Amino acid sequence: MWIMYFLRPVRFLAKAFTAESTSKQMAWGFAIGLLVGLVPKGNLLAITLMTVLCMLRINLAAGMMSAFAFSWIGVLLDPLTHRLGLALLTVESLRPMWVSLMDTPLMPWSGLNNTVVLGSFVAGLLLLLPARRLSEPVFDKYAPLFTARLKRLRLVQVLWGAEWAEKLGQAA
């Protein structure tokens, strides 16, 4: 019975890939994962974005894989996002807004006073809709082929069987 605890995350991943998701849900998962991945972690903004990713009715596997990939890409983009964040934070007409935001509770923990966090968040917001629109046809074309191949893998079939065995064990 203890082996089920080790198989649960792997089963979750197999389920997420083989779930009946539309290409639109996969595309939104990819796009929001891009946003989550670009924002540096360790602040309230990243936690909030990750919570939004998990709460929405989108493909979680696409979102998590996208977040993982763009976390690595985001590090490479730090010099650019620093310049974008610095430009936004030093605009004199926006200064009262930044001051009032930082005076509100919880906002200092958001990390928006950090140039890289702000720049990455804005870049992610700007890329959100183009990423969704460009990825939807790709998911539309390749997701059914990938899901069919994945369902034929012996490991996935064993994991699905492990889920049934677990349910039968709980019923007994």
57 domain residue, yes or no: yes
Give the residue among 75, 147, 66, 156 at the shortest CA–CA distance from 116.
75
Does residue 10 belong to any structural domain of this protein? no
State the Rg of the chain over Cα: 20
pLDDT at 152 over 90: no
- Confidence label for 172 from pLDDT (cuts 50, 70 and 90): very low
Residue 97 lies in a domain: yes
State yes or no: pLDDT of 160 exceeds 70: no
Domain that holds residue 79: 20-136
Say if residue 158 is exposed, middle or buried (CB neighbours under 10 Å; 0-12, 13-18, 19+): middle
Would 82 be classed as within a structural domain? yes
What percentage of residues in the chain have a pLDDT greater than 70? 77
Q: What is the structure's pLDDT at 154? A: 74
Q: Amino acid letter at 68? A: F
Neighbours of 141 (CB within 10 A): 10
Across the range 29-40, mean pLDDT stands at 96
Number of domains, the chain = 1
Name the band, by pLDDT with cuts 50, 70 and 90, for residue 153: confident
Q: Is residue 92 part of a domain?
A: yes
Residue 12 lies in a domain: no
Determine, yes or no, domain membership for 3: no
Model confidence pLDDT, tens digit, residues 113-142: 999 999 999 999 999 999 999 999 998 888
